[in-house]
Amino acid sequence: MFILTSLVFNDGVKKSSYSTCVNNIVSNILQSSTLVPTPVGMERLKSVQHVIVVLSGKGGVGKSTVAVQLALALRAKGKKVGLLDVDLCGPSIPKMFNLEGQSIHQCSEGWLPVYVDPEQKLGVMSIAFLLENEEEAVIWRGPKKTAMIRQFLSDVHWQDTEYLIIDTPPGTSDEHISVMENLRAFNPDGAILVTTPQAVAVGDVRRELTFCRKTGIPVIGIIENMSGYMCPHCSECTNIFSSGGGEALAKEAGVQFLGCVPVTKELAAGVSAGQSATQLPSVPAIEKVADRLIALDKDLP
């Protein structure tokens, strides 16, 4: 059973009426006459200027790490950023910010994201905040996943967020379809696809490209993650897998190649030590991607 024990009103007082099973909340949504988000609820998304979906065709390519680093890079450039984790079965974003056990606050405008900084420049929303403990397994079929994602998209008050980064699970599942269908009316900026250099991962991204075209979301570009190992002493980058797969795919598909992100000792050691992502060194390649996003016009190809 998933107990929603951490929903708090903005006066800081927990309301016992909100100590409710998450399954009951979702069931209430499913009992509505339609699965299309209500205009009143989806109005909250209109305050978000740019929506970017981070996708990968395969697990283990560092997609969530890229999403987190991109959000941090945009925040460092003075932007107000939201990070929505729609990986319902494997939410990892809260752990990457050391936000486990944090509370979701309720205000008159909706659910407030959990902020990683006192300035409230980077807010996070994830199903992990609704679970009794991090070991709970979310075992849901498609309709419940769709309902939960609709709840996230319609009920979270992002407070004039400039960039909303949506981190998705790997593949092309119910979560992806729900996100794309609900976002279509808001003309999202597009998707960033994350791959590693290996042929298997690149092949999966080809299918992700097809998914984007079929669902009508523009592809901003492809990032090749884990592209070599950068020596901490001489900064020379050595290929530990194959190389160039992401760039070749971008050229083949006619989309932008956004750059290579190497494995660095500092980043790997920090993650292993359980450091918050806010304490980890910035990634120059991701900073360049953030610069490109800021420079992009809303009317993307």
Write down the domain spans for the chain. Answer: 3-33+48-295
Q: Stretch 78-95: mean pLDDT, rounded?
A: 93
pLDDT exceeds cutoff 60 at 2: no
pLDDT on residue 5: 38
Q: Stretch 250-255: mean pLDDT, rounded?
A: 92
pLDDT on residue 69: 92
Backbone angles phi, psi at 291, to 5 degrees: -60, -40
pLDDT on residue 185: 78
Q: Which candidate, 48, 102, 109, places its Cα nearest to that of 80? A: 48
pLDDT on residue 80: 96
Q: Stretch 208-214: mean pLDDT, rounded?
A: 92
pLDDT digit string, tens, across residues 36-75: 444 445 677 888 999 999 999 878 888 999 999 999 999 9
pLDDT on residue 31: 54
pLDDT on residue 17: 36
Using a 10 angstrom Cβ sphere, with 0-12 exposed, 13-18 middle and 19 or more buried, the burial of residue 197 is: buried
Binding residues: 57-64, 231, 234
Binding residues for [4Fe-4S] cluster: 231, 234
Instruction: Of 17-21, 79-83, 126-130, give the range with the top mean pLDDT.
Output: 79-83
Q: What torsion, rounded to 10 degrees, do the Cα atoms 99, 1, 165, 271 define? A: 40
297 vs 276: CA distance, rounded Å:
32
- Angle value at C-alpha 17, between 16 and 21, nearest 5 degrees: 100
SS3 4: strand
pLDDT digit string, tens, across residues 10-34: 444 343 333 344 555 555 554 544 4
Binding residues for ATP: 57-64
- Please give the CATH superfamily to which domain 3-33+48-295 belongs: P-loop containing nucleotide triphosphate hydrolases (3.40.50.300)
Q: For residue 143, what is the enclosing H or E element?
A: helix 142-155
SS3 168: coil
- Enter the pTM of the model: 0.83
40 vs 263: CA distance, rounded Å:
44
SS3 105: strand
167 with 63: CB under 8 angstroms? yes
pLDDT on residue 23: 55
50 with 293: CB under 8 angstroms? yes
18 with 10: CB under 8 angstroms? no
pLDDT exceeds cutoff 50 at 147: yes
